[in-house]
A and B are shown apart, each in its own frame.
Chain A
Amino acid sequence: MIVELGHYALVLALALSVLQTVVPFVGARTGDTRQMAMAPNLAFAVFAAIALSFGVLTWGYVASDFSILNVWENSNSQQPLLFKFTGVWGNHEGSMMLWILILSLFGALVAFFGSNLPPSLRAMVISVQGLIATAFTGFILFTSNPFTRLSPAPLEGQDLNPILQDVGLAIHPPLLYLGYVGFSVCFAFAIAALVEGRIDAAWARWVRPWTLTAWIFLTAGIAMGSYWAYYELGWGGWWFWDPVENASFMPWLAGTALLHSALVMEKREALKVWTILLAILAFSLSLLGTFLVRSGVLTSVHAFASDPTRGVVILAILVFFIGGALILFALRSSTLSNGGLFHPISREGALLLNNLILTTAAATVFVGTLYPLAIEALTGEKISVGAPYFDATFAPLMIPLLLAVPFGPLLAWKRGDLFGAAQRLYVFAGIAILAGLVTLYLATGAPVLAAIGVTIGFWLIVGAFAEVWQKSGLPKAGVRTAMARLSGLPRSVWGTAFAHAGLGVITLGIVSVSAFQEEHVLRMAPGDTTDLSGFSVLFEGMEPRQGPNYTENVATFQVSRDGKQIATINPAKRIYTARRMPTTEAGIHTRGFSQIYIALGDPVEGSNQIVVRLWWKPDVTLIWFGPILMVIGGLFSLSDRRLRIGAPVPSARRRQVLAAAE
């Protein structure tokens, strides 16, 4: 009965989404304020219906109701409660439910925070959100219904895929979806602007918090996914240039570009058409990601099901939204007035350079990701494009960007002074080059490329704070004056500094782990000791253990240095009972920013030996601390005063107000 209630709520959500699409749109086009005023309530209602439906599905999982086909396929009564709960989105149907839940949440948030928007713009934005909700709710109901019943109900479920039985599943998909789907708000704003034919600096200011929010979640989601893959898959890699990773990375690149171009639009009313295009692209790439992952054209952990009709329907939705948006863009973008011109050497110029590089980089990732699919569709030849391709295209494009980043914030708007900025940066450049030289000196025989990489990393980190340093007036101004000045700085300045420094921290981590990582694969018997980068690792033995829904063989390794015991590491081989599926649980010990990583292989037949893979991963955690800094930067920017206050008073009205006051 409860299950049918959830199903019914989903049908209701579809009907309400159609209303949410039609009524505000008609209202906005005819200027009917009553119809426009219905928009927020409809958005709230859709959210409530979808939340109810999602709640019922969650109840089915937590209560292990195996009369629901979806629950039977992906859950098991022996699973720990957390994995019963997260299992809701550990499958195709449930993850689409999470997708529309977050979509409707954003719709409701726009409705809630949008009271300062012009009514017609707000109605249009909510209407576009409604259209997206209609498409995806319909997709779920007609092709991937999570409420399909099973009769008679089996006694036990088939268990969640063991790779997904991890805390990571509780965090990674919701964060990633909040990012992906968050861009739908920017998309809706872009479409609304095109339909209304009006766009100005205020538009950029309204869109900015949404872009930032989506970007923050996407950054966190991608980083979290990377760390999850690193410790769960047991391969010790943090990024594989897997098509599914690329699918999340492309919207991130476009979103980062959007974040920067919207800044130009907000401050100088330039790059309007380009910003609109980026807003469309960011969400289009999110949709493409959903298509690649959910349609079954790719094979990966993420591709839960490959029912061909689903792929076709998602493709149709994709073509409708992307194609429709681009046609609208082509027809209407010429009506948008062009903004001011600027000197190439200026803050705008620097932001434009950022945009050029980021979008070009996104394009190379796009080609690398879709080329194999296109070749297979056209010629039938099966190829794969892996890390070497991306190393050869993405990396060379990024280096000029990384070098240019510290200059950007130091250039003035309109007309900057490159020589002046360079003069203010030479101390920082000196520190960075020194760091590179120290690397060469300390790690004898270190590759020159690694030293260059370390230099770039430090250049980004110290250069990121150049603007803050300069504004503080140190060292000439006293400490007290400097503190006063710093506390008076807009928070977005700090946001920029932290985000850019985060980029540098990531660079350092990547360079360090690529250049200085040590890896050994060897056979070890209990009592054997091996050397790993100055540590001595003793294999004590294996012992069986019983988990809630798996049995495991846990190995014990004692790590010591100069005779002093430092850590015990326990990697394991698990077998999940329900699916008879083995998994490898890596053992990790964190030391400073570095990690010792041990994964178990197969036992060697006819002996008590086991194949062991050990890594020393220097500074590897910086790769994930960097995104954390970026997220902190994003939060600073989000809390900036000018965004909290919201819409600026249009200057014409302000003048009238001032005139009236006089």
Chain B
Amino acid sequence: MTRKQKRFTVIFGALAMLGVAVALVLTALSDQVTFFRTPSEVHAAPGQDTGRIRLGGLVEKGSVKHADNSGVEFTIEDTTDRIVVRYAGILPDLFREGQGVVAEGELQSDGTFLADTVLAKHDENYMPKEVADKLKEQGYWQGKEANAAQ
């Protein structure tokens, strides 16, 4: 191989690698990104969220029901709307009625939400940032400012 060919091989290899990576990233970003929605946003545009989404809001008071098969059912609400969430698993330690929560999963055809992950806050005066922001936008903010309490 000549000097030129060697250099060409290396540059070609690098470009090929970069091309593969860009292709992978672009496909993954178009398929695998999860949007954050509140119940009212879901209802405002029916049919837009067919894949995985993150559903955030407050856990409606008195809505948490333990189903027979170790599953759990609760309602996520915001200002105007609510969605029933079903989840088979252990709720996080800081999951509380009336507090912020994010559920990740898919909307079902019957209008309920089947979650495979439920995230709550990490300590007692913290709310998932997305939830706090959305609730502030909707003027539905209750309680202390996130994180600023101490």
What residues make up the interface of A, taking CB atoms closer than 8 Å to B? 73, 158, 161, 163, 234, 296, 299-301, 305-306, 341-344, 349, 352-353, 356-357, 360-361, 363-364, 367-368, 371, 381-386, 388-389, 392-393, 396-397, 521-523, 579-584, 599-602, 604-605, 611, 613
Contact = CB atoms under 8 A, between A and B. Distances in A.
B70 to A, nearest CB: 5
A344 B6 contact: yes
Contact of A521 (B90, B122, B130): B90
Nearest to B122: A301
Interface in B121-141: 122-124, 126, 128-130, 133-134
A383 B94 contact: no
B70 A611 contact: yes
Contacts of A584: 90, 93
A613 B89 contact: yes
B29 A385 contact: yes
A393 B94 contact: no
27 contacts: A161-B122, A299-B122, A344-B9, A352-B10, A356-B13, A363-B21, A364-B24, A364-B25, A367-B25, A382-B36, A384-B34, A384-B36, A384-B54, A385-B33, A386-B104, A388-B52, A389-B28, A389-B32, A396-B24, A397-B20, A521-B89, A523-B70, A579-B123, A581-B93, A581-B94, A584-B90, A602-B91
B133 A382 contact: yes
A406 to B, nearest CB: 19
A341 B122 contact: no
Interface in B46-104: 52, 54, 66, 70, 88-91, 93-94, 104
Given A384-B36, A581-B123, A364 B21 contact: yes
B24 A393 contact: yes
B35 to A, nearest CB: 5
A599 B91 CA distance: 11
A579 B9 CA distance: 61
Would you call the interface of chain A mostly helix, strand, loop, or mixed? mixed
Nearest to A299: B129
Interface centre among B1, B66, B128, B150 (most CB of A within 10 A): B66
Given A306-B147, A392-B27, A579-B123, 16 more contacts: A163-B123, A299-B129, A341-B6, A343-B6, A344-B13, A360-B20, A368-B25, A368-B28, A382-B35, A386-B32, A388-B28, A392-B32, A393-B21, A396-B20, A396-B24, A397-B21
A388 B13 contact: no
A389 B29 contact: yes
B14 interface: yes
Given A385-B29, A393-B24, A584-B93, A357 B36 contact: no
A456 B20 CA distance: 21
A579 B128 CA distance: 19
A399 to B, nearest CB: 12
Interface residues of B, number: 45
Nearest to A606: B66
Contacts of B13: 344, 353, 356
A343 B7 CA distance: 9
Given A73-B150, A360-B21, A521 B88 contact: yes
A163 B122 contact: yes
Contacts of A384: 33-34, 36, 54
Contacts of A301: 122
Nearest to B146: A306
A381 B35 contact: yes
Contacts of B24: 364, 392-393, 396-397
Given A300-B122, A341-B6, A392 B90 contact: no
A237 to B, nearest CB: 10
A605 B72 CA distance: 12
A521 B33 CA distance: 28
Nearest to A363: B21
B104 to A, nearest CB: 8
B31 interface: yes
A388 B130 CA distance: 20
Nearest to A575: B93
Contacts of A371: 29, 33
A99 to B, nearest CB: 21
Nearest to B27: A392
B8 to A, nearest CB: 10
**8 A-B pairs with the lowest CB-CB distances in the bound complex, closest first:** A601-B90, A382-B36, A392-B28, A388-B32, A389-B32, A393-B24, A344-B9, A360-B21
A381 to B, nearest CB: 7
A141 B91 CA distance: 41
B3 A341 contact: yes
A234 B126 CA distance: 19
Contacts of B94: 581-582
Nearest to B71: A521
Interface string B107-131: 0000000000000001110101110
A371 B3 CA distance: 40
B70 A522 contact: yes
B32 to A, nearest CB: 4
Contacts of B129: 299
A357 B17 contact: yes
Contacts of A397: 20-21, 24
B36 A383 contact: yes
Contact of B25 (A393, A599, A600): A393
B128 to A, nearest CB: 6
Contacts of A605: 66
B66 A604 contact: yes
A392 B24 CA distance: 7
A307 B38 CA distance: 26
A386 B126 CA distance: 22
A341 B2 CA distance: 10
A332 to B, nearest CB: 22
A584 to B, nearest CB: 6
Interface centre among A234, A360, A371 (most CB of B within 10 A): A360
